[in-house]
Amino acid sequence: MDLIIENIPFLLKGAYYTLLITVVSMFFGLIIGLLAAIARIKGNRFLRNIARVYVSIIRGTPPLVQIVIVYYGLVDYGIELGPLTAAYIALSINIGAYVSEAFRGAIQSVPKGQTEAALATGMTEKQAMRRIIIPQAIRYAIPPLGNTFVGMLKETSLVSVIAVTELMRSAQLLVAQYYVYMPFYLSIGIMYWGMSTFFTFILNKVEKRLSVY
């Protein structure tokens, strides 16, 4: 126990990076995902196919493979990324695919009459999308996006393999230093659990808040 208390600041720093990576990747993932979803629903054939192939590749390959391709693979082409940058890029691209599926489902759950009503008042397709459809779709998208977010929080542990000292790697470093496993792995387990529970709680609140109309 003393060992853990002594190393709490170190673990907290790891937790900070875990959160940072989650939030940054989620932010860019949301943008990528929204664009991909719109491309799949409203794009021409070319854009639709690009988006479809993107989603298919990302969902069909392990995130660990995606991470090592971005960090180690790109070096072969002279692109050397810092570990943290590589983590952001790999995870944003990864999460974008899942977000796009969540958005696509949500956009399609908005009744067709909404688009028609907007068009009938003289809006363009784009205006109808931006003003009428997307604001409603976001409400439908919150539950699946929340799951994606919490999933991402846990998935960040994978970037420990490219030497990003987030929570997982912090524990590994401590294990290497003290030669004891359980206390450290157990503590980070509890920390992951705490963070997941906290965000799930927040998301439930958001969901309730948005469903007032």
Partner 1 sequence: MIEIEQLYKNYDSHEVLKNLTLSIPAHQVVAVIGPSGSGKSTFLRCINGLEKITQGKISVNGHVIDAKASKKELQKTIYAIRQETGMVFQQFNLYPHKTVIENVMEALIVVKKLPKAKAHKIASDLLERVGLSDKENSYPSQISGGQQQRVAIARALAMEPQLMLFDEPTSALDPELVGEVLKVMKDLAEEGMTMIIVTHEMNFAKNVANRILFMADGVIVEDAEPKAFFEHPQTARAQQFLHQVSEF
Kindly list the residues in this chain that would bind partner 1 in the complex (CB under 8 A). 111, 113-114, 116-124, 127, 131-132, 135-136, 139, 213
H or E stretch covering 173: helix 167-178
Minimum Å gap between C-beta 201 and partner 1 is 24
Nearer Cβ to partner 1, position 88 or 103? 103
Intra-chain end-to-end CA distance of the chain, in Å: 50
Q: Which is nearer to partner 1, 90 or 128 (CB)?
A: 128
If the CB atoms of residues 135 and 194 are measured against partner 1, the closer one turns out to be 135
Least distance between partner 1 and beta carbon 206 (Å): 15
User: Residue 121 or residue 204: which is nearer to partner 1 going by CB?
Assistant: 121
Quote the least distance from Cβ 80 to partner 1, whole Å: 46
Going 18 to 20 to 23 to 26, the CA torsion angle's sign is negative
Give me 21's structure tokens.
């990576």
- DSSP E strands in the chain: the ranges are none
CA distance 212 to 167: 37
Nearer to partner 1, 23 or 210 (CB): 210
Minimum CB–partner distance for residue 41 and partner 1 (Å):
18
Residue 194 one-letter amino acid? G
Measured distance CA(54)–CA(2) in Å, rounded: 48
Q: Phi and psi of 129, rounded to 5°?
A: -60, -50
- Closest approach of partner 1 to the CB of residue 70, in Å: 38
